[in-house]
Amino acid sequence: MANFEPRKYSRKKTRQISVGKVAVGGDAPISVQSMTITKTADVDATLQQIYALAAAGCDIVRCTCNDIAAAEGLAKIVPRSPVPIIADIHHQYRMALAALEAGVHGLRLNPGNIRKPEHIKAVATEARDRGVPIRIGVNGGSLDPALYDKHGGLTAAAMVESAQQELRFFEEVDFDLVKISVKASNVPLMVDAYRMLSRVTDFPLHLGVTEAGPLPGGLIKATAGISTLLLEGIGDTIRYSLTADPVEEARAGRQLLESLGLRERKNVDLIACPSCGRAEVDVIAIAQEAQSAFADKKLPLQIAVMGCVVNGPGEAREADLGIAAGHKRGHLFVKGRNVAVVPESEMVDALVEWATFIHEHGTEAAIKRVDTTLAEREAAKDRSVALAEKGDDANHDTEKIVEIRRTVAGE
C-alpha cells in the first residue's frame, strides 16, 4: 500500500491550540469529537462510553457538567480517559470553575446561556491561569434575545456577532486559547455562518450541524454542512450531532475525513456496486455481511464487492482487494488482478483472509503467492458465459448503427 499523503486542500491557516494531547488548528490533522450521553456522575458507564468512542476514531470527548455530582464524576473520569475530556457548560458558570478544578482539558461555553460579563471573565481568567482552552459554542437556538431583535431573527450575522461578543470579554482578561463554533440545525444557515466567521477570525473552528436528528436524515444533513466547509478549507475539528448512539457520530466523523483524504485510513473502506439485473448474487446481503465481518478489524484497505464478473474487476480496479460474483463463484482480485476463485458461500471469508494477508505482507506478496493464470482463465470463462446469455448483439447494435448514420446524414 502507498504511504498516506493528506489531500492538499487550500485550508485556511488558523491558530493552533492544544486540547490535552490533541492539537487543534494550524497544520494539525482535523480531529473528530463526540459527546457522551450517560450521566457524568455514573463514572463507570461514562468511561465505558468514552472508550467505545475512542475505539471508533474519536479524538476528543465532551461530557456534560450540569451539577456537583457531574463535576465530581469528571475528577474520576479525566485521569482514566484515553482521550482529552471537555466539560459542557450551560447556565451555571460555577460548574465551569468546578470542571476546571476536576482537571478537564477544555470547556465549552454557550454565550447565549451565560451572559453576565463578570461570570464569563471569571471562567476565562481561571482557564487562562490553568492553560485550558475554551470553545465558544454559539447555538442558533439559544442566542441572546437582544441579537435576535437586532438582526431580525436568527441569521448568520447574529451568530457571528454572538461569538465576537464573547471574544471581547476574553480579550479583556488576556485569554486567547479559543476555538469557536456557530452551529445551526439549518444547513445553509450553518454554512453561511461559518463562512462569515472564517473571514473575520483566525481562531480554530469547530464544525457541526446542531440537532441534525436521527439516521439517515441526520447523517445526510451533518455531512452536507461539514463536508461543504471542509472542501472549502474551513474547519479544524468536527462533530456529528446525531440522535443515535454517539459511537455512530465518531464513526461518521472518521469516515468522512478518511473519504475526503484528510485523515489516514484506519479501517476498511468498503465499496460495492448498487446491484442490477446482471448481478449473480444478492450484492446487498453480501456487502452487509462483509461490512459486519470487517467492522472491528483495523485494516486500512479499500475492498470492493461487485455483483458480476463482466464489469466488476474493471470498476474496482484501484481497490486493494475485491470480489466479483459469477455463476455461484466468487472471483477474487487484488489491484485488478484475478488471484483466486472461491465458492459463493466462502466469498466473505475469503475477503477477510486475503485482506489480513495484504495488510501484513502487501499486495505484491499477495499476488505472488498464487498462480494468477488459472484464476484469470476461470474469470474469462465466467465473463464469456455472462455475455453469451445476452447474445453477441444483445442491443441489436448493427441495426442501430445504420439508423444512427442515417439520422446524422439527414436521410
Cβ within 8 Å of residue 214, ≥6 positions away: 242, 243, 244
Contact 178, 17 (CB under 8 A): yes
Q: What is the CATH number of the domain that holds 369?
A: 3.30.413.10
State whether 244 and 332 are in the same domain: no
State whether 114 and 193 are in the same domain: yes
User: Does some domain include residue 222?
Assistant: yes
State whether 87 and 235 are in the same domain: yes
State whether 162 and 245 are in the same domain: yes
State whether 278 and 179 are in the same domain: no
Q: What is the CATH number of the domain that holds 178?
A: 3.20.20.20
State whether 324 and 243 are in the same domain: no
State whether 154 and 203 are in the same domain: yes
User: Does some domain include residue 406?
Assistant: no
User: Does some domain include residue 7?
Assistant: no
Last residue of a domain, one of 232, 259, 286: 259
pLDDT in tens, the chain (411 residues): 445 565 666 899 999 999 999 999 999 999 999 999 999 999 999 999 999 999 999 999 999 999 999 999 999 999 999 999 999 998 899 999 999 999 999 999 999 899 899 999 999 999 999 999 999 999 998 999 999 999 999 999 999 999 999 999 999 999 999 999 999 999 999 999 999 999 999 999 999 999 999 999 999 999 999 999 999 999 999 999 999 999 999 999 999 999 999 999 888 999 888 877 767 678 888 889 999 999 888 899 999 998 876 666 676 677 899 988 877 788 888 988 888 889 888 999 999 999 999 999 999 999 988 877 766 666 666 666 655 655 555 455 667 777 787 788 876
Q: How many residues does the chain have?
A: 411
From residue 408, alpha-carbon distances to 144, 398, 399, 404 in Å are: 67, 16, 15, 6
Last residue of a domain, one of 203, 238, 259: 259
State whether 332 and 232 are in the same domain: no
User: Does some domain include residue 227?
Assistant: yes
State whether 120 and 243 are in the same domain: yes
User: Does some domain include residue 403?
Assistant: no
Distance CA 182, CA 332 (A): 48
User: Does some domain include residue 395?
Assistant: no
State whether 24 and 168 are in the same domain: yes
Sign of the dihedral defined by the CA atoms of residues 104, 243, 195, 161, in that order: negative
State whether 135 and 173 are in the same domain: yes
Contact 262, 7 (CB under 8 A): yes
Last residue of a domain, one of 218, 236, 259: 259
CA proximity to 372, closest of 336, 318, 330: 336
Pairing mode, strands 178-183 and 16-19: unpaired
Q: What's the structural domain count of the chain? A: 2
User: Does some domain include residue 2?
Assistant: no
User: Does some domain include residue 376?
Assistant: yes
Cell 442501430 found at: 400
State whether 182 and 310 are in the same domain: no
Residue 33 lies in domain: 16-259
Contact 62, 33 (CB under 8 A): yes
